[in-house]
Amino acid sequence: MFITGADRAIRVQCQYQAAEKHVGANFGVNDLPWNKHAEPIAMPVCRYDILAESADGPLLSSASVGQRVYHKWTCETSTPEFFCMRVHSCTVEDGHGSSVSILNEAGCAVDDVLLRNLNYTGLVAGQTALVYKYADHDTLFFQCQVSITVRDPRDVNELARGCPRPVCDSGNETPVEVKGIQSRTDSELAVLQVRQPRESNVNKTASHSQESTLPPFEVLDVTANLLATDNFDQPTQSPSESPSKTKTICLPGPALAGIIFIIALVSISTIVALIHRIKHRRRLYVIN
């Protein structure tokens, strides 16, 4: 191929303009649907019992002065791992206006002679004590408050943690003397007249309790009654002076009914025999 003077050469240049353009689109996303589900948790039900000797003893309604008893506070719930309890503000009254404090607002013992500091195990608190009474009244009316608090969620699986307990003075100071009491042996407590709180427990435990308690969720009132009797005025009788006792025999119902039936049968047979004999004699008399 030859290039001549009649040929034409054409140079073509193409230019393409590049440009950046941001495009977008709106796309709405809804939240996942949810259902509200609330499961109510029943509050603990608390009671105050006075038992014989120990925490496993039978329930008492009466006792003698000096007898060992066990004061027990129990709170029952289907979810014990969520709650804590604290017993406090306990008083004993005679039912006629006289009242004596045995546990202060912090839950500490006011007088160890009446009641010592409580032992706690979960939602159960208790302590042993010796029975006492007022000089002029036999029935004791005990009243306490039980504060229910919610456990710390971080310690909900730790039964030994999360429930603050009262921090009480462990000293053994001599309690204030009782005014106008009748003293007996060491095994028999003096008759309760008037006791004043010990300043050691009342003052020192207040600051500790503020640091070791949770805000109360609910405060419950619990009561217990005990008839306390004493034998101080009853003379001791020797065996020779003891009154004679009449021996009695107790029979069960079926045996007693059988005996009555036999007696009735014998009585009827005797009467029938007597009537028959009388008729026989009359016949002989008529024949003669």
* Rounded percentage of the chain residues whose pLDDT exceeds 90: 33
Assign 3-class secondary structure to 7-71. CCCCCCCCCCCCCCCCCCCCCCCCCCCCCCCCCCCCCCEEEEEEEECCCCCCECCEEECCCEEEE
The answer on pLDDT for 170 being more than 80 is no
> What is the overall mean pLDDT for the chain?
75
Q: Which domains does the chain show, CATH number per domain?
A: 45-229 (2.60.40.4100)
- pLDDT for residue 138 is more than 50: yes
Return the pLDDT at 272. Answer: 87
Contact 109, 102 (CB under 8 A): yes
Q: In the beta sheet, which residues pair with residue 101?
A: 91
79 pLDDT above the threshold of 80: yes
Q: Are 77 and 43 in contact (CB under 8 A)?
A: yes
User: How does residue 190 score in pLDDT terms, banded at 50, 70 and 90?
Assistant: very low
- Please report, rounded to a whole number, the percentage of residues in the chain having pLDDT higher than 70: 68
Query: Per the structure block, which two tokens stand in for 99?
Result: 């009242």
Neighbours of 75 (CB within 10 A): 22
Find which of 98-107, 189-198, 208-217, 233-242 is predicted with most confidence, using mean pLDDT.
98-107
Using the predicted structure, report yes or no on whether residue 274 has a pLDDT greater than 60: yes
Query: Average pLDDT of 266-273?
Result: 88
pLDDT of amino acid 69: 96
Q: How far is CA 21 from CA 17, 18, 25, 155, 199, in A?
A: 13, 10, 13, 58, 85
pLDDT tens digits for range 208-255: 443 344 556 789 999 999 999 887 655 544 444 444 555 566 666 677
How many whole angstroms from its chain centre is CA 87? 10
